[in-house]
Amino acid sequence: MENIFTDEYFMKKALQEAEMAFDKGEIPVGAVIVVNNTVIARSHNLTELLNDVTAHAEMQAITAAANFLGGKYLKDCTLYVTLEPCQMCAGALYWSQITKIVYGASDDHRGFVKMGTQLHPKTVVVRGVMANEASELMKRFFAERRK
């Protein structure tokens, strides 16, 4: 039987979260955290609504996943996020010792790769999963804001 639980499968759920952010006028970034093929946290950017620069999708997902697991280390967890994490989120992921990070679109200006933020040595990174979809959503958001 074919495995339906591909990276694309979970990234679609992160994209649904990004669309929810879009609908609220937030920069459209969404995230889910998965363990054993089960989504244990889902979130989207809420920096405008909460007036809080720390309310990125990833930060909320890390807190929610740790709460679900009853422990602060995200062992055996995979984060799916539509946009490359920033310094803050990569720094939080470093502390969480998360097993895997899968992201969609790259952020060549403020992403952790450009910024040189260090992840935990245990963490595997997969990039570019459904990058076009994530990128198109961002472009549509900023085009509408410029109107």
Annotated binding residues for Zn(2+): 56, 86, 89
Catalytic residue among 58, 84, 133, 144: 58
**Closest to 41 in 3D by CA, of 65, 19, 17, 63:** 65
Q: Does the annotation mark 58 as catalytic?
A: yes
- Tell me: does residue 117 bind a second copy (CB under 8 A): yes
What are the counts of helices (DSSP H) followed by strands (DSSP E) for the chain?
5, 5
Task: Give dist(CA 101, CA 31) in Å, integer.
Answer: 11
* String of contacts with a second copy for each residue 44-83, x by CB under 8 A: ---xx--xxxx----x--xx--xx--xxxx----------
Q: What's the rounded Cα separation, in Å, for the pair 39 and 34?
A: 4
Query: Which residue lies nearer to a second copy by CB, 114 or 127?
Result: 114
The Cα–Cα gap between 133 and 79 comes to 18
Residue 108 binds a second copy, judged by CB under 8 A: no
Spatial strand order of the sheet with 124-127 comes to 38-44, 30-35, 77-83, 100-105, 124-127
- Looking at beta carbons only, is 73 or 127 nearer to a second copy? 73
Binding site for a second copy (CB under 8 A): 47-48, 51-54, 59, 62-63, 66-67, 70-73, 86-92, 94-96, 115-118
Residues annotated as part of the active site: 58
